[in-house]
Structure 1
Amino acid sequence: MINTKTNCADINESGLLPVDQAKNTILAAMPVLQDSLQIPIEQAKGRCLAEAIISPVQVPGHTNSAVDGYAMHSCDLPGKGTQASLKIQATILAGQLYSENCPTGYCLRIMTGAPIPIGLDTVIMQEHCQISDTAILIDDRHSKGQNVRQAGEDIQLGTTVLHQGKLLCPADIGLLASLGITEIKVKRKLRIAIASTGNEIYSIASVVPDGGLYDSNRYCLLAALDRPDIEIINLGIIQDNETELLQRFNEAADYADIIISTGGVSVGEADFTKAALKASGDITFWKVAIKPGRPIAFGKIKQSVFFGLPGNPVAVLITLYQFVLPALEKMLGITDKPIAPLIKARSLQSIRKKPGRTEIQRGIVSQTDTGEFRVKTTGKQGSGILSSISMANAFIILQHDQDKVEQGDWVDVQLFSGLF
């Protein structure tokens, strides 16, 4: 009998970490950046807040009108089944303070956002009034306090409005501006060095010989990690040479927080990345029970965290999103970010699957008129078929213990929206 070696098709290969265990191992090992810097709020979108924001003011600053209409005394509201006529004393524009006394029987024409004078407590929407040049007529549909925004009802002075660890979105920037805050403290950018490895890999500007491949992996990573909170160090292509890999990784470790390479972490005789990692640092694991993406190395080189991703482009992106991105967010100290949840979708086809590993297929999710999510695969799911992700809008997550999916079964899907 021929003695065979383990490969990516082996479900029960020894030493394979389940996906959840691999994720937990990575997260437990990730340090959290302590360095921060002060930046203008207009540069803060997509950055991690390094300290809580305490409101220096109340919002709104003044009790004001929520609509264009007429401010009045609630005691002038008509009783049930009756009407009331009020004389118009003056007009108040937004940003204008009106200090004159407005007696009962009178009202003030007021614009949205304009401060409501002391003593008046109700605003009638202009569309609900019968208006003449000097007076309004109202009926009994109104109530005390309507259409009035109280001072501080949005934000009270001294309250925490944004917590440390918040990944700042456009609304957060607007909120900071509404408080008159011009600069905030954020975590410094994460420095990530990226390299492609392999003698068969060529720059996209090169003429590729027979048997060669354009370097798509590095460009996938560059695009995926093009974020305001990340600084990319592009190491280019490193040849399959243990000495060169060792030298380049050690050099990168002097300034990068994280090193990510693609290729060279399988079991082939020319897969030198794993060997270089063993020689220059610590390797925590290098095989995970996932398809595609089984050969993924995780460890350290000096003080840098190292991820050795597979060589096939689909496996690169899947392992990036499933393992690397959560680790980057842990290192950046992000504790509050948009959620990319798993949702249930009905499979429009049968899908082959054996228990014993997590399988991630590329899917196209649609929604019926009744709101039900449905999903189909993008076709061939080979780990080298990059178009399978380009056509997709979601990952189909087939869980570790899950068996074959029949048409009509419910499956977990992870929408790219919120993930990419």
Structure 2
Amino acid sequence: MNLSHKNHPLTPIDEALEKLLIDLPRTEGTELVTLADACGRVLTERLVASINVPSHANSAMDGYAVCTKDLAFEPTKLKVVQRIAAGQVGKRLSKGEAARIFTGASIPEGANAVVMQENCSLVGDEVEILQKVKTGENVREVGEDIQVGEVLLHAGHRLRPQDIGLAASIGLTKLSVQRNLTVAVITTGNELVLPGNELKDGQIYNSNFFTLSTLLRLLNVEVIELGIVEDDLVTTTQTLEEAARVADCIISTGGVSVGEEDYVKTAVESVGSLDLWKLAIKPGKPFASGKVHNTQFFGLPGNPVSTFVTFVLLVRPCLLAMLGCKSPMATLFQAQAAFDSDKSGERQQYLRVYLGKDGKGRPELKSCDNQSSGAGSSLCRADGLAIIPPYTSVARGDTLEFIPFSELLT
């Protein structure tokens, strides 16, 4: 599909995302990885518990294991006959006996509660219980956390550190996950040079590649660097075709606008098609998506903020969806604005904001001073993006939707 820039309507971001997520190719192939390598990967099968956790009743705190039938009167004195540390198994308690016990230690037979040590008084080999104790008090029962046969995680879940600990707690050493994506990254522009070189007149350093490659590695993506492509149609086309041969997905920066030196859009359409071009968002209007042959393509604007914003809002959820992730979208929060903003136009705005506190200690959003799409340093001062819908003005105290970077940079 060739999309003409003449009178081309801007696509709202929600509509664009819906279309993208439907049309995306899905990655084939799974692999078995160790727990140490599983964080951030996407599960391909259910995680089902094969054991109870805990596997034995144990103490929730340091204290004394007792039988509540021995505590008919307050206070009551019991003879301390044993000491049980975590990892040890005690002997059965008889009537009138107690065991010194520590957090995590198995509850001995004959005991049905643990009295925290602060509610006891030890004199010699006798402990005096100073308050009433209920059956089961301070005892972690078998399977209280996890029961045999319980489905703990579902296929399509993206693994977090706590999930890795969960898998370890039921004795697993490896997990079945979706294979990693390979993404070819192309940066375009005659003005670009790599850091480490001396800048000549008219040149800038290629910061977008390093931003994108870092963002991709947060998703465990294998990055294929295809270098800086000069503003030339033949070279751009050849590089795109090379990328399509070696990668699951292609991401380019620059060259998707309507300037005379912007060749990426034309090159993509010559060897594939564009399904989306020009979004109703600010920054990030000249975003493009389509296919190079059968390989997914995303064309990001060249300005550093636009590159970052379109990646985290559009490309990131798409890559996660390609991996089979069932929840690829970031969670939105609400917070009060600590700034005023004139009425927006037809494009939904994503303002760089940082968190502060109002006079009552409540969180509020403060706007970064420079909202230019070329001001990359503002991203380092920001804590996230505040959303201003089309044709909307903002007054101090208004409630805005807010996407913290913590939701986008994992």
Q: Please confirm whether the aligned pair reaches a TM-score higher than 0.5, indicating the same fold.
A: yes
What are structure 1's unaligned runs of at least 5 residues?
A: 8-12
SS in 2 for 1:418: helix
Aligned to 2:10: 16
8 Å CA contact retained: 2:334, 2:401? yes
Aligned residue number for residue 107 of structure 1: 98
SS at the partner of 2:183?
A: strand
1:184 aligns with 2:184: no
1:370 Cα offset (Å): 3.5
Secondary structure of residue in 1 paired with 2:302: coil
Answering whether residue 361 of structure 2 is matched by residue 361 of structure 1, we say no
Shift of 1:123: 1.1
Tell me which residue corresponds to 1:10.
Answer: none
Letter of the 1:45 partner, please give it: C
Asked if the contact 1:88–1:136 (Cα under 8 Å) also holds between the matched residues in 2, the reply is yes
CA contact (8 A) 1:245 1:276 kept: yes
Offset of residue 340 of structure 1? 4.1
Structure 2 residue aligned with 1:345: 335
Instruction: Indicate whether 1:269 and 2:263 are aligned.
Output: no
The structure-2 alpha-carbon separation of the partners of 1:186 and 1:87, relative to structure 1 and needing over 3 Å to count, comes to same
Q: 1:254 aligns with which of 242, 245, 263?
A: 245
Partners of 1:370 and 1:414 lie apart in 2 by 23
State which of 407, 411, 414 in structure 1 corresponds to 2:396.
407
CA contact (8 A) 2:257 2:301 kept: yes
Following superposition, the deviation at residue 159 of structure 1 comes to 1.3
Instruction: Name the CA shift for 1:369/1:419 in 2 (closer, same or farther; >3 Å).
Output: farther
CA distance in 2, matches of 1:48, 1:295: 31
The residue type paired with residue 406 of structure 2 is S
Q: 1:300-319 maps to which residues of 2 (within 5 A)?
A: 300-319=291-310
Residue 211 (structure 2) pairs with residue 217 (structure 1): no
| Residue among 53, 56, 65 paired with 1:62 | 56
Tell me the SS of whatever aligns to 2:32. Answer: strand
1:78 deviates by 3.0
Letter in 2 for 1:354: S
Q: Does 1:283 align with 2:278?
A: no
Shift of 1:390: 1.8
* Contact 2:113–2:133, Cα closer than 8 Å, also in 1: no
More displaced 10-residue stretch of structure 1: 299-308 or 224-233: 224-233
Query: Corresponding residue for 1:196?
Result: 187
Deviation at 1:227, TM superposition (A): 2.1
Kept in 1, the 8 Å contact 2:20–2:318? The answer is: yes
Question: Aligned partners of 2:78 and 2:171: how far apart in 1?
Answer: 39
State the shift of 1:349 in Å.
Answer: 2.5
Q: Determine the C-alpha separation between the residues in 2 that align with 1:195 and 1:333.
A: 25
Deviations 1:337-366 (A, max 9, x none): 7x7433333322221233421111211221
2:90 to 84, 88, 98: 98
Residue 285 of structure 2 corresponds to residue 294 of structure 1: yes
- Label 1:353 to 1:217 Cα distance change in 2 as closer, same or farther (>3 A): farther
* Corresponding residue for residue 373 of structure 1: 363
For residue 385 of structure 1, the aligned residue among 354, 375, 387 is: 375
1:65–1:148 CA contact under 8 A, matched in 2 = yes
Aligned residues: 406
Moved more, 265-274 or 383-392: 383-392
Measure, in 2, the Cα distance between the counterparts of 1:96 and 1:113.
Answer: 10
Write out aligned runs for 1:2-151 (5 A): 14-79=8-73, 82-99=74-91, 101-151=92-142
Task: Determine helix, strand or coil for the equivalent of 1:225.
Answer: helix
CA distance in 2, matches of 1:407, 1:66: 49
- 1:322 corresponding residue in structure 2: 313
Which region of structure 1 is more displaced relative to structure 2, 63-72 or 341-350?
341-350
Provide the rounded CA distance (Å) in 1 between the counterparts of 2:53 and 2:256. Answer: 55
Say if 2:344 and 2:389, in contact at 8 Å, map to a contact too.
no
CA RMSD of aligned residues (A): 1.9
Distance, in Å, in 2 between the alignment partners of 1:326 and 1:279 is 27
- Secondary structure of 1:194's counterpart equals strand
- Tell me the distance in 1 between the aligned counterparts of 2:352 and 2:177: 35
- Between the aligned partners of 1:65 and 1:266, the Cα distance in structure 2 is 65
AA in 1 matched with 2:354: I
Percent of pairs identical after alignment?
39
Q: Could you report, residue by residue, the CA deviation over 1:118-172 in whole angstroms, capped at 9, with x for unpaired residues?
A: 2311111122111022111113432121011111111111211222122111211
Task: Return closer, same or farther for 1:407/1:109 CA change in 2, 3 Å cut-off.
Answer: closer
Partners of 1:158 and 1:371 in 2: CA distance: 46
